[in-house]
Amino acid sequence: MRAAQLSKPRANAWSPSLGGLDKSLGTVLHCLEPLSAHTSLRLGGEADYFVNASSLQQISQSISFARQRTLNWMVLGNGTNILFPDEGYRGLVIHLGRNWGGWQLEAGGRLRCHSGASLGGLLGWLGQRGQHGLDFLVGIPGSVGGAVAMNAGIPQATIGARVESVRALDPQGRLLKLDHDGCRFGYRSSLFRRPGWVVLEVTLRLGEPGERRQGDWDAARLLARRRARQPLRGHSAGCVFKNPTPPQPSAGALLERAGLKAMRIGGASISALHANFILNRGEASSREVRQLIDIARDKVYKEFEVELQLELAVVSN
């Protein structure tokens, strides 16, 4: 794996301070953390503050730390569908990764997992135990929390359909348990994509081990299909745009028809394999990725009068 891109020096001399920090966060909260090391695009400057949280107490204390200092704050999972700016993030990033990534298979074919759990690791573990209810997610990178927030999946199946309940913090900091309907799942959307919501734990309905249900997918065949059609080995953030509402063609098809495959600006390029992926070829900047996004949207709109909507989370200050 290529080393993470170093962030550029700040334009001003200000630097964040940990003065007055609650001692309970002292070992997990850091200043000036390079975000390029935590995203699949390997892009982004430094976060003023960065926490690797491993408990609900640390998550709550981190939010309190930000609010007491009137800082912007946000949650980051595996960083596979996000673009941070070159200048970094002016505030606190709460990282829910492997330190908040446990899971447990329960009676009745229910799976309870923390939001930081890796989708790939989870699917491998389930497959070894004869559980195939989430096989349609194979090859999709990211964390369980991120997948639930954006209702990840394929045209025929989404993770939201398997969600029984979600424990989350709401924008007021209250700990809630929401049932499936309360999560408000839609196409690549849910309640949890709104600012201030933090997915903590998800309970999924899988069925009994070995049970195959209508709509289950062959993981090996689906993964081979993804590898043949998508640039899974490059530094990308997955699909950039949502697919338009049928009968419009997919975003990838529209981008390809507009002649945008392999278009390059600096170190960033639209994939020659799948036009809905933008790759960091090694020396890209977030600004160059944003330029490609803007050009792609403009060209598709001019040629087809279709306004593409972002699936990629683009962070700004």
Q: Given 188, 288, 290, 297, which residue is catalytic? A: 188
pLDDT band at 39 (very low <50, low <70, confident <90, very high): very high
State residue 207's pLDDT score. Answer: 75
Q: How confident is the model at residue 297 (pLDDT cuts 50, 70, 90)?
A: very high
Q: Give me the pLDDT at residue 17, please.
A: 63
Whole-number mean pLDDT of the chain? Answer: 91
* pTM metric for this prediction: 0.90
Among the listed residues 33, 183, 239, 290, the single catalytic one is: 239
pLDDT at 296: 98
pLDDT single digits (tens) 230-257: 998 889 999 999 999 999 999 999 999 9
Give which of 113, 114, 76, 115 is closest to 92, Cα–Cα: 76
Amino acid 215: pLDDT = 52
Within 10 angstroms of residue 11's Cβ, the number of other Cβ atoms is 7
Domains and CATH numbers, the chain: 23-98 (3.30.43.10), 101-205 (3.30.465.10), 230-314 (3.90.78.10)
Query: Confidence class of residue 217 from pLDDT cuts 50, 70 and 90?
Result: confident
> SS3 letters for 252-298?
HHHHHHCCCCCCEECCEEECCCCCCCEEECCCCCHHHHHHHHHHHHH
Residue 274 has pLDDT above 90, yes or no: yes
- Which comes out higher in pLDDT, residue 17 or 293? 293
More confident residue, 22 or 48: 48
Lowest mean pLDDT among 15-29, 90-104, 113-127, 244-258: 15-29
Tell me, yes or no, if 188 is annotated catalytic. Answer: yes
Is 174 noted as a catalytic residue in this protein? no
Asked whether residue 212 carries a pLDDT value surpassing 80, the answer given is no
How large is the average pLDDT for residues 43-51?
97
Q: What is the mean pLDDT of residues 179-199?
A: 97
Which is higher by pLDDT, 25 or 274? 274
| Average pLDDT of span 121-148 | 94
Does the annotation mark 305 as catalytic? no
**3-30 pLDDT, tens digit each:** 333 344 454 445 676 655 556 677 789 9
- Which one of the listed residues 33, 201, 288, 311 is annotated catalytic? 311
Q: Which residues contact 253 (CB under 8 A, 6 or more apart)?
A: none
Quickly list DSSP for the chain: -PPPPPPPPPSSS-----TT--GGGTTTEEEEEEGGGGSTT----EEEEEEE--SHHHHHHHHHHHHHTT-EEEEESS-SSEE--TT-EEEEEEE-SGGG--EEEETTTEEEEETT-BHHHHHHHHHHTT--TTGGGTT--SBHHHHHHTT-EETTEEGGGGEEEEEEE-TT--EEEEETGGG--BTTB-GGGSTT-EEEEEEEE--STT---TT---HHHHHHHHHHHS-TTSEE-S-SBPPPSTTSPPHHHHHHHTT-TT-EETTEEE-SS-TT-EEE-SS--HHHHHHHHHHHHHHHHHHH-----B-SEE---
pLDDT digits (tens, 9 = 90+) for 167-177: 999 999 999 99
pLDDT of 6: 37
